[in-house]
Amino acid sequence: MIHPLADVKSVNIGPGTRVWQFAVILENARIGKDCNINCHTFIENDVIIGDRVTVKSGVYLWDGLRAEDDVFIGPSAAFVNDPFPRSKHYPAEFRKIHLKRGCSIGANATVLGGITIGEYALVGAGSVITKDVKPFALMVGNPARQTGWVNEAGEKLTTTGDGWKDTKGNRYRETEGRLEIIK
């Protein structure tokens, strides 16, 4: 479903994807199936979006952004692909931003170029991401810092004596800077 007031030049949009009014999608952008591209969004040419991705209102996705499946991008989140912007001066290549499977970017968060946000990580509203984010990390602040861990559902884990747990009783531990579930 493409709203009649959207300006969509790309034919690379998967089935079941909804594009709402006043969205602009350039010709070479690729968008997967069952996505939701909200109103007042802009998607540039060198952008690849996986399946079941939500892009909320007021988001601009610039060249070099890659969003894997099941990513959530909150309202007015900002992505920076040029570290030294100047009018009419363009870098030879824009810095890539990689949003790994299942991660969530909160409203008004800013992600700098050259950054990877790990699988299922959660970036809090208004946070500024200046370095790579570990999978399942909870990041808040400016500059953002890790304040905890979340599970695949985005639920903040609580500390136990030997690791972390979620409300369902699943237990987790940190191994070499990464979170893993204890079987």
CATH assignment at residue 124: 2.160.10.10
What pLDDT score does 79 carry? Answer: 98
Residue 161 lies in a domain: no
pTM of the model: 0.95
Residue 179 lies in a domain: no
Residue 68 lies in a domain: yes
Structure tokens given for 130: 């200046």
Q: What is the DSSP letter of 13?
A: B
| Domain total of the chain | 1
What pLDDT score does 183 carry? Answer: 67
Is residue 23 within 8 A of residue 8, CB to CB? The reply is yes
Residue 30 lies in a domain: yes
Determine the straight-line distance between the first and last CA of the chain, rounded to whole angstroms. 42
Residue 181 lies in a domain: no
Is residue 108 within 8 A of residue 90, CB to CB? The reply is no
Structure tokens given for 62: 């610039």
Residue 177 lies in a domain: no
Distance separating alpha carbons of residues 71 and 102, to the nearest angstrom: 5
Parent domain of 125: 7-84+92-151
- Closest listed residue to residue 76, CA positions, set 43, 107, 38, 36: 107
Structure tokens given for 174: 């940190």
Residue 180 lies in a domain: no
pLDDT along the chain (183 residues), means of 10: 97 98 98 98 98 98 98 98 92 94 98 97 98 97 97 94 90 87 80
The widest CA-to-CA distance across the chain, in whole angstroms, is 56
> Cis before residue 143, ω within 30 degrees of 0?
yes
The alpha-carbon radius of gyration of the chain (Å, integer) is 17
Residue 125 sits at the vertex; the CA angle it makes with 121 and 128, to the nearest 5 degrees, is 75
Residue 175 lies in a domain: no
